[in-house]
Amino acid sequence: MDTSNLIIRNINDPHELERMYRNDPKAFKKSFSNAWEQHPDSHILGVWNERLHFKETANTEKSSLHQKGFLFMGILAMLAGISTRIIFHFVEQEAIAPINLAFGIIPFIAAYFVYNNTPKKSVIYSIATLFLASGFYLNMLPLNYKDSIILAYLHFPIFLWILVGLAFTGNEYSKGSKRLAYIKFNLEFCILYASMAVCGIILAALTMRLFSFVGLDIEDFYFSNVVLFGAAALAIVAVYLVSMNLKLAKNITPYIAKIFSPLVLVTLLVYLITVIWVGKNPFLDRNFLIAFNGILLGVLVVTIFSIIESDSDEKKNISDYINFALIVLALIIDSVALSAIVFRLSSYGITPNRLAVLGVNILIWANLIWIMISYIRFLQNKSGPSIIQDAVTKYLPIYGLWAALVIFTFPIIFN
């Protein structure tokens, strides 16, 4: 008997229809259309019609979206590469500051997120205005190496990072879950970009070596026109791949967080014991104080990534206790650094560098206190893990505000 007739015959027998489908899915699907044409009012066949064809429709729509996203990514990657090369030309001529190279990449990353998220016009206008205003202001600053100008340059990437975060979160910029996703994106992006960059470096070295065999030195040309272009374009490609839920970076990041947290904790404990043993003093040794602050920032980054990569269930594990120990250790380091900075301010006077370092340490200290209190509540079963993540995500805009304060006021105050 024809399969379509069998389908009609068993139209009110779901069990038999399922058995027929499992025995020969291709024959069932081929004959189903005839049965569906004869009985378009059948609810059971209607369900089967959706079951058999919904996946194809979804894949077609998804494929179309991927094609549009891929095309837009390709255009942005080309624009990023060209813009970076043009900016680099003016940097070489010492007409503009090197920090302008950030504008060859970061605005295009923001544009990709705006394209994906389609935020409200007010959000788009705000992002565009802040990019334009900050770029104009940056190039109005004198091209010199005063401390206040250098501090503005150093804080500029943080400010732009917050703007990209606004583009990433779109209309949901106030939601902690969306900010958490942005932090995760950054970790996955860094891993993927670094992996591809290593391949690019190997290719560049091989290319220059091959040309050297025929007596041609292409190092300067290759760096200026290929490496620079490729590095900028690759950033947009990495953003696209991470946004497409590439499994490579997503599968690696939790393991990196779990492996590095205990390693950093042990290394830091050994280092601090050694520092005390040899008698190093951050109050008097400026270089050691700078290194101390570098360690603090490193611990803060590792701790934050460990927190966001931890499981979202209510169960506590060894990683939570390691993270808590890292936070306590970071607080000790920050407290020592703060004391040393206040000592140097009272002993040697106020300078832009000392004031900027003081501000950053106060911000980090407050953030660590908030995270530590949240962790204590979690470890005592008084709250869930979400309170710890809130302590991380809700504090992010404050770092951006501090960066903006340094960028837009220090060059004027300490002129």
pLDDT in tens, 259-287: 777 877 887 787 778 777 876 667 666 67
Share of the chain above pLDDT 90, in %: 24
Alpha carbons 200 and 7: distance in angstroms, whole number = 57
Phi, psi of 302 (to 5 degrees): -60, -40
Lookup result for tokens 């049965």: 35
User: Whole-prediction pTM value?
Assistant: 0.76
Inform me whether the pLDDT recorded for 163 exceeds 90.
yes
Cα 244 from Cα 231, distance rounded (Å) = 20
Interval 232-260 mean pLDDT? 77
- Rg over CA atoms, the chain: 28
Query: Within the chain, what is the greatest distance between any pair of CA atoms?
Result: 99
C-alpha span between 145 and 153 (Å, rounded): 10
Residue 292 has pLDDT above 80, yes or no: no
pLDDT band of 170, cuts 50, 70, 90: confident
pLDDT digits (tens, 9 = 90+) for 28-64: 887 788 887 777 778 787 888 877 776 544 444 445 5
What is the per-residue pLDDT across 4-26, written as a single tens digit (0 to 9) for each?
A: 677 777 778 888 888 888 887 77
Half-sphere exposure of 200 (CA within 13 A, CB side): 18
- Rounded to 10°, the helix 286-308/247-278 angle is 140
Asked if the model's pLDDT at residue 158 lies above 60, the reply is yes
Q: How many CA atoms lie within 13 A of 24 on its CB side?
A: 9
Provide mean pLDDT across the span 309-316.
Answer: 60
